[in-house]
Protein backbone atom coordinates (compact mmCIF):
# COMPACT_ATOMS: atom_id res chain seq x y z
CA UNK A 1 0.00 0.00 0.00
CA UNK A 2 2.83 2.41 0.89
CA UNK A 3 4.52 1.66 -2.45
CA UNK A 4 1.26 2.27 -4.31
CA UNK A 5 0.79 5.62 -2.55
CA UNK A 6 4.37 6.54 -3.41
CA UNK A 7 3.86 5.73 -7.08
CA UNK A 8 0.61 7.69 -7.09
CA UNK A 9 2.43 10.63 -5.54
CA UNK A 10 5.22 10.43 -8.11
CA UNK A 11 2.85 10.53 -11.05
CA UNK A 12 0.88 13.39 -9.49
CA UNK A 13 4.01 15.50 -8.96
CA UNK A 14 5.35 14.76 -12.44
CA UNK A 15 2.20 16.20 -13.98
CA UNK A 16 3.26 19.64 -12.78
CA UNK A 17 7.02 19.48 -12.15
CA UNK A 18 9.97 18.22 -14.17
CA UNK A 19 13.66 19.01 -14.52
CA UNK A 20 12.89 22.01 -16.77
CA UNK A 21 10.50 23.56 -14.25
CA UNK A 22 11.54 26.87 -12.69
CA UNK A 23 11.67 27.37 -8.94
CA UNK A 24 8.27 29.05 -8.31
CA UNK A 25 6.25 26.09 -9.63
CA UNK A 26 8.51 23.54 -7.93
CA UNK A 27 8.31 25.39 -4.62
CA UNK A 28 4.52 25.49 -4.84
CA UNK A 29 4.38 21.72 -5.42
CA UNK A 30 6.77 21.13 -2.53
CA UNK A 31 4.64 23.28 -0.24
CA UNK A 32 1.64 21.06 -1.03
CA UNK A 33 3.77 17.99 -0.31
CA UNK A 34 4.88 19.37 3.07
CA UNK A 35 1.28 20.10 4.02
CA UNK A 36 0.28 16.55 3.04
CA UNK A 37 3.08 15.31 5.32
CA UNK A 38 1.39 17.12 8.23
CA UNK A 39 4.36 19.42 8.79
CA UNK A 40 3.61 22.31 11.13
CA UNK A 41 2.75 25.71 9.69
CA UNK A 42 5.95 27.26 11.07
CA UNK A 43 8.10 24.51 9.56
CA UNK A 44 6.49 24.89 6.14
CA UNK A 45 6.87 28.66 6.24
CA UNK A 46 10.55 28.43 7.19
CA UNK A 47 11.34 25.79 4.55
CA UNK A 48 9.55 27.69 1.77
CA UNK A 49 11.24 30.98 2.68
CA UNK A 50 14.64 29.27 2.62
CA UNK A 51 14.12 27.83 -0.87
CA UNK A 52 12.71 31.12 -2.14
CA UNK A 53 15.91 32.79 -0.97
CA UNK A 54 17.90 30.14 -2.85
CA UNK A 55 15.80 30.79 -5.97
CA UNK A 56 16.43 34.54 -5.73
CA UNK A 57 20.15 33.87 -6.07
CA UNK A 58 19.65 32.57 -9.63
CA UNK A 59 18.10 34.14 -12.75
CA UNK A 60 14.27 33.83 -12.82
CA UNK A 61 14.34 31.40 -15.75
CA UNK A 62 16.84 29.00 -14.13
CA UNK A 63 15.40 25.48 -14.06
CA UNK A 64 15.66 23.20 -11.02
CA UNK A 65 17.34 20.53 -13.15
CA UNK A 66 20.23 22.84 -14.01
CA UNK A 67 21.27 23.35 -10.38
CA UNK A 68 24.58 21.70 -9.51
CA UNK A 69 26.37 21.20 -6.19
CA UNK A 70 28.73 24.06 -7.01
CA UNK A 71 25.73 26.37 -7.46
CA UNK A 72 24.39 25.51 -4.01
CA UNK A 73 27.81 26.00 -2.44
CA UNK A 74 28.12 29.37 -4.20
CA UNK A 75 24.76 30.39 -2.74
CA UNK A 76 25.79 29.30 0.75
CA UNK A 77 29.04 31.25 0.49
CA UNK A 78 27.12 34.33 -0.67
CA UNK A 79 24.62 33.98 2.15
CA UNK A 80 27.31 33.56 4.79
CA UNK A 81 29.97 35.99 3.59
CA UNK A 82 28.66 38.36 0.92
CA UNK A 83 24.99 39.02 1.59
CA UNK A 84 24.52 42.19 3.61
CA UNK A 85 21.88 40.61 5.85
CA UNK A 86 23.26 38.85 8.98
CA UNK A 87 22.77 35.08 9.04
CA UNK A 88 23.12 33.37 12.41
CA UNK A 89 24.75 29.93 12.57
CA UNK A 90 21.39 28.41 13.52
CA UNK A 91 19.63 29.98 10.52
CA UNK A 92 22.48 28.95 8.22
CA UNK A 93 22.21 25.35 9.42
CA UNK A 94 18.43 25.33 8.95
CA UNK A 95 18.74 26.66 5.39
CA UNK A 96 21.08 23.83 4.49
CA UNK A 97 18.51 21.41 5.94
CA UNK A 98 15.78 23.04 3.83
CA UNK A 99 17.85 22.80 0.66
CA UNK A 100 18.73 19.17 1.30
CA UNK A 101 15.09 18.34 2.00
CA UNK A 102 13.89 20.10 -1.17
CA UNK A 103 16.29 18.39 -3.54
CA UNK A 104 15.92 15.02 -1.83
CA UNK A 105 12.17 15.30 -2.48
CA UNK A 106 12.81 16.11 -6.14
CA UNK A 107 15.02 13.03 -6.54
CA UNK A 108 12.73 10.76 -4.49
CA UNK A 109 9.81 11.54 -6.79
CA UNK A 110 11.86 11.00 -9.94
CA UNK A 111 11.91 14.64 -11.01
CA UNK A 112 15.70 14.77 -10.83
CA UNK A 113 18.02 11.86 -11.48
CA UNK A 114 20.74 13.29 -9.23
CA UNK A 115 20.54 15.16 -5.94
CA UNK A 116 22.89 18.18 -6.11
CA UNK A 117 22.50 18.87 -2.38
CA UNK A 118 23.46 15.38 -1.25
CA UNK A 119 27.17 16.16 -0.89
CA UNK A 120 26.68 19.65 0.54
CA UNK A 121 28.23 19.72 4.00
CA UNK A 122 25.75 20.16 6.82
CA UNK A 123 27.01 22.48 9.54
CA UNK A 124 25.60 21.56 12.92
CA UNK A 125 25.03 24.32 15.43
CA UNK A 126 24.98 23.48 19.12
CA UNK A 127 23.14 26.01 21.26
CA UNK A 128 24.50 27.03 24.69
CA UNK A 129 24.13 24.63 27.61
CA UNK A 130 20.82 25.08 29.45
CA UNK A 131 20.76 25.99 33.12
CA UNK A 132 19.75 23.14 35.43
CA UNK A 133 19.11 22.49 39.10
CA UNK A 134 21.89 20.68 40.92
CA UNK A 135 21.42 17.56 43.02
CA UNK A 136 21.42 19.84 46.08
CA UNK A 137 18.89 22.31 44.67
CA UNK A 138 16.34 19.69 43.57
CA UNK A 139 15.36 18.60 47.12
CA UNK A 140 15.47 22.26 48.17
CA UNK A 141 12.84 23.40 45.66
CA UNK A 142 10.70 20.31 46.25
CA UNK A 143 10.72 20.95 50.00
CA UNK A 144 9.80 24.58 49.35
CA UNK A 145 6.93 23.61 47.04
CA UNK A 146 5.73 21.05 49.58
CA UNK A 147 5.55 23.76 52.24
CA UNK A 148 2.61 25.38 50.42
CA UNK A 149 0.52 22.30 51.21
CA UNK A 150 0.63 23.07 54.93
CA UNK A 151 -0.21 26.75 54.99
CA UNK A 152 -3.33 28.10 56.73
CA UNK A 153 -4.96 27.87 53.29
CA UNK A 154 -3.38 24.68 51.87
CA UNK A 155 -2.28 24.83 48.23
CA UNK A 156 -1.10 21.63 46.56
CA UNK A 157 -0.59 23.27 43.14
CA UNK A 158 3.11 24.14 43.53
CA UNK A 159 4.09 20.64 44.62
CA UNK A 160 1.81 18.90 42.12
CA UNK A 161 3.25 20.95 39.26
CA UNK A 162 6.93 20.97 40.22
CA UNK A 163 7.16 17.32 41.24
CA UNK A 164 5.44 16.29 37.99
CA UNK A 165 7.82 18.38 35.85
CA UNK A 166 11.01 17.24 37.56
CA UNK A 167 9.88 13.60 37.49
CA UNK A 168 8.66 13.45 33.89
CA UNK A 169 10.52 16.23 32.04
CA UNK A 170 7.42 17.13 30.03
CA UNK A 171 7.24 20.40 28.10
CA UNK A 172 5.10 23.42 28.93
CA UNK A 173 2.73 22.71 26.03
CA UNK A 174 2.38 19.08 27.13
CA UNK A 175 1.66 20.15 30.70
CA UNK A 176 -1.11 22.44 29.52
CA UNK A 177 -2.64 19.59 27.50
CA UNK A 178 -2.88 17.06 30.34
CA UNK A 179 -6.35 15.92 31.38
CA UNK A 180 -7.16 13.93 34.52
CA UNK A 181 -8.00 10.94 32.31
CA UNK A 182 -4.42 10.89 31.00
CA UNK A 183 -3.31 9.24 34.24
CA UNK A 184 -3.52 5.53 35.00
CA UNK A 185 -3.41 4.62 38.68
CA UNK A 186 -4.90 1.14 38.31
CA UNK A 187 -1.60 -0.41 39.38
CA UNK A 188 -0.67 1.45 42.61
CA UNK A 189 2.98 0.45 42.37
CA UNK A 190 3.27 1.68 38.78
CA UNK A 191 1.31 4.90 38.14
CA UNK A 192 1.75 6.29 34.63
CA UNK A 193 1.02 9.41 32.62
CA UNK A 194 0.00 9.29 28.95
CA UNK A 195 1.10 12.24 26.81
CA UNK A 196 -1.39 12.80 23.99
CA UNK A 197 -1.41 15.08 20.94
CA UNK A 198 -4.33 16.28 18.83
CA UNK A 199 -2.34 17.04 15.65
CA UNK A 200 -1.30 14.06 13.45
CA UNK A 201 2.14 15.57 12.86
CA UNK A 202 2.99 15.27 16.56
CA UNK A 203 1.67 11.75 17.12
CA UNK A 204 5.21 10.35 17.25
CA UNK A 205 5.70 12.34 20.48
CA UNK A 206 2.92 10.45 22.26
CA UNK A 207 4.25 8.24 25.03
CA UNK A 208 3.75 6.65 28.43
CA UNK A 209 5.81 7.94 31.37
CA UNK A 210 6.21 6.28 34.76
CA UNK A 211 5.36 8.45 37.77
CA UNK A 212 6.72 8.42 41.33
CA UNK A 213 4.45 6.40 43.58
CA UNK A 214 4.22 9.17 46.18
CA UNK A 215 2.96 11.64 43.56
CA UNK A 216 -0.47 9.99 43.68
CA UNK A 217 -1.23 11.42 47.14
CA UNK A 218 -0.22 14.90 45.99
CA UNK A 219 -2.36 14.50 42.88
CA UNK A 220 -5.41 13.46 44.90
CA UNK A 221 -4.90 16.36 47.28
CA UNK A 222 -4.64 18.80 44.38
CA UNK A 223 -7.73 17.39 42.64
CA UNK A 224 -9.78 17.72 45.84
CA UNK A 225 -8.76 21.38 46.03
CA UNK A 226 -8.97 22.43 42.37
CA UNK A 227 -11.63 20.05 40.98
CA UNK A 228 -10.15 20.00 37.44
CA UNK A 229 -12.31 18.65 34.62
CA UNK A 230 -10.97 19.03 31.08
CA UNK A 231 -7.44 20.08 32.00
CA UNK A 232 -5.41 19.09 35.04
CA UNK A 233 -3.89 22.56 35.36
CA UNK A 234 -6.71 24.80 34.24
CA UNK A 235 -4.59 27.95 34.18
CA UNK A 236 -2.78 30.01 31.59
CA UNK A 237 0.82 29.19 30.73
CA UNK A 238 1.89 32.45 32.36
CA UNK A 239 0.13 31.55 35.61
CA UNK A 240 1.99 28.24 35.79
CA UNK A 241 5.25 30.09 35.10
CA UNK A 242 4.48 32.41 38.02
CA UNK A 243 3.96 29.40 40.29
CA UNK A 244 7.41 28.07 39.38
CA UNK A 245 8.94 31.51 39.85
CA UNK A 246 7.30 31.81 43.28
CA UNK A 247 8.80 28.45 44.31
CA UNK A 248 12.25 29.52 43.14
CA UNK A 249 12.02 32.83 44.99
CA UNK A 250 10.80 31.17 48.19
CA UNK A 251 13.67 28.65 47.95
CA UNK A 252 16.21 31.47 47.61
CA UNK A 253 17.33 30.36 44.15
CA UNK A 254 19.41 32.81 42.15
CA UNK A 255 18.37 30.88 39.04
CA UNK A 256 15.08 31.35 37.21
CA UNK A 257 13.04 28.21 37.85
CA UNK A 258 11.23 27.38 34.62
CA UNK A 259 9.64 24.58 32.60
CA UNK A 260 12.79 24.20 30.52
CA UNK A 261 15.01 24.03 33.62
CA UNK A 262 12.82 21.26 35.06
CA UNK A 263 12.88 19.34 31.78
CA UNK A 264 16.66 19.43 31.52
CA UNK A 265 17.10 18.67 35.21
CA UNK A 266 14.95 15.56 34.76
CA UNK A 267 17.05 14.39 31.82
CA UNK A 268 20.36 15.03 33.57
CA UNK A 269 19.14 13.30 36.75
CA UNK A 270 18.09 10.23 34.79
CA UNK A 271 21.41 10.15 32.94
CA UNK A 272 23.34 10.69 36.20
CA UNK A 273 21.55 7.71 37.77
CA UNK A 274 22.58 5.52 34.81
CA UNK A 275 19.22 5.31 33.07
CA UNK A 276 19.63 3.95 29.54
CA UNK A 277 20.02 6.92 27.14
CA UNK A 278 17.51 5.43 24.71
CA UNK A 279 14.97 5.19 27.53
CA UNK A 280 15.56 8.87 28.33
CA UNK A 281 15.09 9.81 24.67
CA UNK A 282 11.78 7.98 24.49
CA UNK A 283 10.65 9.43 27.81
CA UNK A 284 11.30 12.94 26.47
CA UNK A 285 9.59 12.23 23.15
CA UNK A 286 12.42 13.54 20.97
CA UNK A 287 13.60 12.24 17.61
CA UNK A 288 16.94 10.50 17.14
CA UNK A 289 18.20 13.53 15.21
CA UNK A 290 17.34 15.90 18.08
CA UNK A 291 18.80 13.45 20.56
CA UNK A 292 22.34 13.74 19.15
CA UNK A 293 22.73 17.31 20.38
CA UNK A 294 20.79 16.70 23.59
CA UNK A 295 23.00 13.75 24.53
CA UNK A 296 26.18 15.76 23.97
CA UNK A 297 24.81 18.35 26.38
CA UNK A 298 23.83 15.73 28.96
CA UNK A 299 27.40 14.49 29.09
CA UNK A 300 28.60 18.03 29.78
CA UNK A 301 25.87 18.74 32.34
CA UNK A 302 26.33 15.54 34.31
CA UNK A 303 29.20 16.87 36.44
CA UNK A 304 27.40 20.19 36.90
CA UNK A 305 24.39 18.34 38.32
CA UNK A 306 26.59 16.51 40.84
For residue 22, give the DSSP letter. Answer: B
Whole-number average pLDDT of the chain: 90
Instruction: Determine if residue 227 is left, alpha or beta; phi over 0 gives left, psi from -120 to 50 gives alpha, anything else beta.
Output: left
pLDDT, tens digit (0-9, with 9 covering 90-100), for 24-83: 999 999 999 898 888 888 889 999 999 999 999 999 999 999 999 999 999 999 988 888
pLDDT, tens digit (0-9, with 9 covering 90-100), for 226-236: 999 899 999 99
Neighbours of 82 (CB within 10 A): 8
Element (H, E) at 210: strand 207-210
Interatomic CA distance for residues 193 and 211, integer angstroms: 7
The C-alpha R_g of the chain, in whole angstroms, comes to: 24
pLDDT, tens digit (0-9, with 9 covering 90-100), for 102-144: 999 999 989 999 999 999 987 766 678 899 999 999 999 999 9
Cα–Cα distances in Å, from 27 out to 32, 64, 102, 177, 248? 9, 10, 8, 34, 48
Cα–Cα distances in Å, from 232 out to 36, 207, 210, 224, 260? 33, 18, 17, 12, 19
Q: Where are the alpha helices (DSSP H) in the chain?
A: 2-14, 23-36, 41-56, 69-77, 89-108, 137-147, 157-168, 172-176, 215-226, 237-250, 259-272, 277-284, 288-305
pTM, to two decimals = 0.66
* pLDDT, mean of residues 188-217: 88
Amino acid sequence: MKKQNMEKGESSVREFVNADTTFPAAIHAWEIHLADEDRTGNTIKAFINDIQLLASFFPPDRSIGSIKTRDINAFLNWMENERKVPCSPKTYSRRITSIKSFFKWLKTYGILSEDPAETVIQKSVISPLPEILTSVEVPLVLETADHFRYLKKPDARPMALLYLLISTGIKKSETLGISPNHFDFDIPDNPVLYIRYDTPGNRYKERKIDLPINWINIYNEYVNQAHPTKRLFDFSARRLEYILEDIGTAAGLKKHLSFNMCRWTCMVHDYYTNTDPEAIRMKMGVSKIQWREIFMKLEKLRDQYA
